[in-house]
């Protein structure tokens, strides 16, 4: 396990998807309790939302819960709890166009609590909707990689649901 002791310069990671969906459908995945719970969390995990205030400055509080046997075993092997309370805010909120979600990262060993930023831009393209997600780096490259791997894993849920066009 990696310790975050100093900030190491890293580039942001951009993940793009075009789905056979409307922008409003994708927006709801990020801004409603039912939408967020339907896909957030890497494979083997689920979330339970406790607060979701869909507005600029609004809170997002949820538990990230390992619920598949392999995810539970992996969390235990890393010395991490199988459920963790997660807290964030919507730092930017422009309906159906842009949002910025800031999570407080408080689970990294030997690291003070810090902010993790995800920005999302939405656009319509005919009968499809495009979602461009920018994942800003963590303090430690290990946790940036874990974040990107987790996000890519959870996107597979949307890829199956909305028929990712590969674009």
3-class DSSP string for 61-103: EEEEEECCHHHHHHHHHCCCCCEEEEEEEEEEEECCCEEEEEE
Tell me the C-alpha distance between 135 and 2, whole Å: 19
Check pLDDT > 50 for residue 3: no
CA-to-CA separations, 44 to 23, 53, 116, 136, in angstroms, rounded: 27, 26, 22, 24
Can you give the pTM of this predicted structure? Answer: 0.88
Q: How confident is the model at residue 8 (pLDDT cuts 50, 70, 90)?
A: low
Q: What is the mean pLDDT of residues 29-39?
A: 97
Closest CA to 29 of 4, 9, 10, 47: 47
If you average pLDDT over every residue of the chain, what do you get?
A: 90
Maximum average pLDDT range among 43-57, 66-80, 138-152: 43-57
Tens digits of residue pLDDT in 122-131: 999 889 999 9
Q: Which pLDDT value is given to residue 73?
A: 95
Q: What is the mean pLDDT of residues 21-41?
A: 96
Q: Which long-range contacts (CB under 8 A, 24 or more apart) does 118-124 make?
A: 118/151, 119/92, 120/30, 121/97, 122/23, 122/26, 122/27, 122/96, 122/97, 122/98, 123/23, 123/97, 124/22, 124/23
Q: Which pLDDT value is given to residue 10?
A: 83
Tell me the C-alpha distance between 101 and 122, whole Å: 14
Q: How confident is the model at residue 155 (pLDDT cuts 50, 70, 90)?
A: very high
Give all domains of the chain, ordered by start, each with its CATH number.
Answer: 13-162 (3.30.530.20)
More confident residue, 73 or 8: 73
């Amino acid at each position: 396990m990696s310790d975050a002791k100093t900030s190491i310069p890293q580039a942001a990671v951009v993940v793009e998807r075009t789905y056979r969906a409307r922008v409003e459908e994708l927006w709801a995945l990020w801004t409603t309790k039912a939408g967020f719970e339907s896909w957030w969390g890497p494979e083997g995990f689920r979330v339970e939302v406790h607060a979701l205030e869909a507005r600029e400055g609004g809170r997002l509080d949820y538990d990230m819960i390992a619920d598949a046997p392999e995810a539970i075993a992996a969390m235990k092997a890393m010395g991490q709890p199988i459920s963790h309370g997660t807290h964030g805010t919507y730092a930017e909120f422009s309906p159906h166009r842009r949002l910025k979600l800031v999570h407080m990262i408080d689970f990294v060993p030997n690291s003070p609590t810090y902010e993790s930023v995800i920005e999302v831009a939405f656009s319509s393209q005919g009968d499809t909707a495009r979602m461009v997600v920018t994942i800003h780096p963590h303090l430690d490259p290990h946790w940036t990689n874990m974040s990107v791997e987790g996000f890519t894993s959870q996107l597979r849920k949307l890829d199956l649901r909305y028929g990712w066009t590969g674009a």
